[in-house]
Amino acid sequence: MDVVHRIALIPGDGIGREVVPAAAEVLEAAARRFGFALRWEELDWGCERLLRTGAMLPADGLEALADLDAIFLGAVGDPRVPDHVSLWGLLIPIRRRFRQYVNLRPARLLPGVPSPLAAVPAGGIDMVIVRENNEGEYSEIGGRLYPGTEEEMAVQEAVFTRRGVDRVLRYAFALAAARRGRLTSATKSNGIVHTMPFWDERVAAVARDFPQVAVEQYHIDILAAHFVQRPERFDVVVASNLFGDILSDLSAAVTGSIGLAPSANLNPEREHPSMFEPVHGSAPDIAGRGIANPMAQILSGAMMLRHLGQARAADAVEAAVAQVLAEGGPRTPDLGGNAGTAEVARAVASALA
């Protein structure tokens, strides 16, 4: 009897509904080859459901996820719904309820994919953004006063706890120790005078437990410039929720396309299910045309397989994507090709088989 992994399948909105089924087929091919089973629990959560029923998900929805092994999500967001409503209605509650405090976003320049940066050699970028995913700048604390008047104001508080900061830093340091031994911290302690000096202090404190890791820190503004000018020098980059969000779109862009960038929302203690989703959103500008690149979703699936203990299957999925790219297989328009989502996914699945 094969091992069975029970996975919540949430395509969500826009291109999520195109790339999730395509990626699920690739993962099915991996399961067949490596002798395990994926039992999908498909959920229609998202903006479509919100417009139809008034809620992104059922009232007891989150609890139904608690017993599953993982969550495989496409994207949420629809032009008919304000973005903060969709994000706070589904994605952020999942990340917080299940203490997915590490958002792991690898950025590699794969052979066969041109970087928009002329100076970067093929295969020359291999870094991981570790984004704090539960607190920081994305907080509900704050409010608005005197709406519609000259005195109108908005206040938003950032929340940085020692527990929350230390646990993501420890994850990032351990990852750096297992990779090339270099950790870069994104800060802005010159302008943000309470939370960011605290962040810097915690980096210095946790660093004492990892003498084998070389630590450096940059303010977020110049760090963004370094991502463009010398991305090849970075190994693990740890950042707060907002800074990590921005840096990981930038790292996706310099490695060729946001359509290639995967991510994992991890609960490292495995007390709760982790969630795997691409860095990109629902891409309403191309949704419904069948041309979205499914590779970010497929590579997110590989991260999920690795988390589930199927390391050989995960390696094989990543190798199949790399093979299609390196051997000039079909590619979607974001990579300069004219293939569709399904054709690319089929090419990856057959490279895998």
Interface residues with Mg ion (CB under 5 A) are 245
Compute the distance between CA of residue 322 and CA of residue 22 in angstroms, rounded to an integer. Answer: 17
Among 5, 99, 202, 280, binds ligand NAI (CB under 6 A): 280
Applying the rule CB under 6 A, the residues between 6 and 35 that interact with ligand NAI are 15, 19
Give the separation between CA 90 and CA 96, rounded to whole angstroms. Answer: 10
10 Å CB burial of residue 44 (0-12, 13-18, 19+) is middle
- Binding-site member from 292, 322, 344, 352 for ligand NAI (CB under 6 A): 292
DSSP 286-320: TTTSS----HHHHHHHHHHHHHTT-HHHHHHHHHH
Q: Which does 134 bind (CB under 5 to 8 A by kind): ligand NAI, Mg ion, none?
A: none
- Residue 88 Cβ, how far from Mg ion at the closest point, in Å? 14
100 binds ligand NAI (CB under 6 A): no
The catalytic residue among 138, 249, 285, 315 is 249
Residue pair 314/303 in contact (Cβ under 8 Å)? The answer is yes
Is-contact 105 296, C-beta < 8 A? no
Given the rule CB under 6 A, which of 73-81, 151-159, 200-208, 212-220 is the region that contacts ligand NAI?
73-81
How far is the C-alpha of 226 from the C-alpha of 319, rounded, in Å? 29
User: Residue 115 or 282: which CB sits closer to ligand NAI?
Assistant: 282
3-state secondary structure of 183: strand
Answer yes or no: are the C-beta atoms of 215 and 207 closer than 8 Å. Answer: yes
Q: Which is nearer to Mg ion, 257 or 310 (CB)?
A: 257
Catalytic residue of the set 13, 69, 101, 188: 188
Taking the complex as a whole, how short is the minimal distance between the CB of residue 279 and Mg ion, in angstroms?
A: 6
Report CA-CA distances (Å) from 37 to 32, 69, 146, 301: 7, 12, 56, 14
**C-beta of 231 vs 294, nearer to ligand NAI:** 294
Q: Is 245 a catalytic residue?
A: yes
344 binds ligand NAI (CB under 6 A): no
Torsion angles phi and psi, residue 101, rounded to 5: -85, -10
Contact 19, 321 (CB under 8 A): no
Q: Which residues between 252 and 271 bind ligand NAI (CB under 6 A)?
A: 258-259
Cβ 263 to Mg ion shortest distance, Å: 9
For residue 153, how many other CB atoms are within 10 A of its CB?
A: 10
β strands within 206-313, DSSP E:
214-219, 236-239, 262-266, 274-278
Contact partner, 277, from Mg ion, ligand NAI, none, Cβ < 5-8 Å per class: ligand NAI
Distances (CA, A) of 318 to 108, 148, 154, 266, 337: 12, 52, 45, 19, 20
The answer to the question of residue 46 lying near ligand NAI (CB under 6 A) is: no
133 lies in the binding site for ligand NAI (CB under 6 A): no
Residue with Cβ nearer ligand NAI (258 or 321): 258
Q: Taking CB within 5 to 8 Å according to partner kind, which of Mg ion, ligand NAI, none is near residue 132? A: none
Judged by CB, which is closer to ligand NAI: 87, or 342? 87
Only one of the segments 52-60, 70-78, 213-221, 266-274 lies at the binding site for ligand NAI (rule: CB under 6 A); that segment is 70-78
Q: What is the DSSP secondary-structure string of 21-45?
A: HHHHHHHHHHHHHHTEEEEEEE---
Residue 188 is a catalytic residue: yes
Residues that bind ligand NAI (CB under 6 A): 15, 19, 75-77, 83, 87, 91, 258-259, 277, 280-286, 292-293, 296, 332, 334
- Catalytic residue ranges: 146, 188, 221, 245, 249
